[in-house]
Amino acid sequence: MQDFMNAIKEKAMSLQKTIILPETEDERVLIAAHKILSQKLAKLILIGKKEVIMQNAEKLNINLDNAEIIDNQDPNLVNELGHAYFELRKHKDVNIDEALEQVKNPNYFANMLLYKNRADGIVSGSISTTADTIRPALQIIKTHEASHRVSSFFFMQLKDRLLIFADCAINILPTAEELAHIAIDTANNAKLFNIEPKVALLSFSTKGSGKHELVDKVKKAVEIAQELEPDLVLDGEMQVDAALLPEVCQRKCKNCNLHGQANVLIFPDLQSGNIAYKLVERLAKADAIGPITQGLNKPVNDLSRGCDVDDIVDVVAITAVQANMNKGD
């Protein structure tokens, strides 16, 4: 994992993207900010009162002098961003007073700064729920297309291989169409991080060995994904052993184009995905980085509330690389 993360950090250093950290009351965020600035992984915007942030930095014996600090209670900015938010949300019956109050919330304030192109990405969630982190992004940054669903993935580093798991954090029961788009989005993110994707859509069935509407949904998702991205190495429906083990793949589905070498695993629902990543993390001692959000017009990533400082640093570096997805680099 260290080699993988080092490559991501080197890329982030070369890009020098601006990432917003809204949760500055969390000392883990401030310590991570110090590390990010020291390593020159990104430029940072910290949300909050400058005097409070700098006092806390002094107590923690860290240096945040190179961070830009923006007060989410600043009347001029609240007025500017509040009116812009009102224009975005008035069709949802949000009035101007509600808009002005809403943008004082650090996550909404951060998303409005991102919307206004003051930054390239946001990392939040160390003290906010996933809903409180992602909801403002859905309302303000929005998805690639109106019908597109936001999803997530984890990098899972095992002893001998790197895998990507999706979706383990957001979509509870995706439709066949949504599963297909999750598979395509995850494959595109794999490429962004220099991983050549080999995508398996997982089931309790391999190529018709089981009969059930849940199996039919995964089959349909495979058909949709293959139609949308015919050059993508993708197959299913299949059990996870057929996806990962060449000898099992040979026995269960000889004509599978993955040959038991899948590195992107698409789970049929949130329940199976979430259970799987935690089992692999805890029992196989895998390093899990994520969840990394995908599908938004600009990257807004959600930390686990149990994250440590290094997790925050890693996700900021990943967010900086994601921010470069449509820049042609």
pLDDT tens digits for 172-191?
999 999 999 999 999 999 99
Q: How far apart are CA 83 and CA 122, in angstroms?
A: 21
Q: Kindly report which listed range (107-121, 138-152, 241-255) carries the lowest average pLDDT score.
A: 138-152
Q: How far apart are CA 82 and CA 109, in angstroms?
A: 9
pLDDT-above-70 percentage for the chain? 98
C-alpha distances in Å from residue 297, one per residue of 36, 166, 209, 301:
24, 19, 39, 12
Domain presence at residue 302: yes
Per-state percent for the chain, helix, strand, coil, to nearest 5 = 50, 15, 35
pLDDT of residue 1: 54
> Residues 68, 11: one domain?
yes
Domain presence at residue 327: no
Domain presence at residue 74: yes
CA atoms 55, 56, 59, 60: torsion sign: negative
> Residues 62, 160: one domain?
no
> Residues 133, 114: one domain?
yes
pLDDT of residue 69: 98
Domain residues for the domain of 166 are 151-283
- Number of other CB atoms surrounding residue 55 within 10 Å: 11
Domain presence at residue 89: yes
pLDDT of residue 307: 87
> Residues 102, 179: one domain?
no
Domain presence at residue 329: no
Q: How far apart are CA 251 and CA 254, in angstroms?
A: 6
> Residues 136, 6: one domain?
yes
pLDDT of residue 329: 41
Helical packing angle, 50-60 and 27-39, nearest 10°: 80
pLDDT of residue 31: 98
Q: What confidence category does residue 328 fall into, taking pLDDT thresholds of 50, 70 and 90? A: very low
As for how many domains the chain has, the answer is: 2
CATH no. for residue 180?
3.40.50.10750
> Residues 18, 134: one domain?
yes
> Residues 65, 117: one domain?
yes
Backbone angles phi, psi at 205, to 5 degrees: -120, 145
192 vs 109, residue with greater confidence: 109
pLDDT tens digits for 88-105?
999 999 999 999 999 999
Q: How far apart are CA 21 and CA 26, in angstroms?
A: 10
Residues 6+ apart with CB under 8 A from 2: none
Q: What radius of gyration, in Å, describes the C-alpha atoms of the chain?
A: 21
Q: What is the mean pLDDT of the chain?
A: 93
pLDDT of residue 305: 87
Domain presence at residue 303: yes
Q: How far apart are CA 155 and CA 169, in angstroms?
A: 13
Q: What confidence category does residue 323 fall into, taking pLDDT thresholds of 50, 70 and 90? A: very high
> Residues 127, 185: one domain?
no
Task: Give the up-direction half-sphere exposure of residue 178: CA atoms within 13 A in the CB hemisphere.
Answer: 20
Alpha helices in 128-287 (DSSP H): 130-140, 176-192, 213-228, 240-244, 246-252, 270-283
> Residues 262, 229: one domain?
yes
> Residues 107, 130: one domain?
yes
Backbone angles phi, psi at 328, to 5 degrees: 85, 10
DSSP 256-307: -TTTT---EEE-SSHHHHHHHHHHHHHHS--EEEEEEEESBSS-EEE--TT-
Domain presence at residue 190: yes
CATH no. for residue 73?
3.40.50.10950
Domain presence at residue 328: no
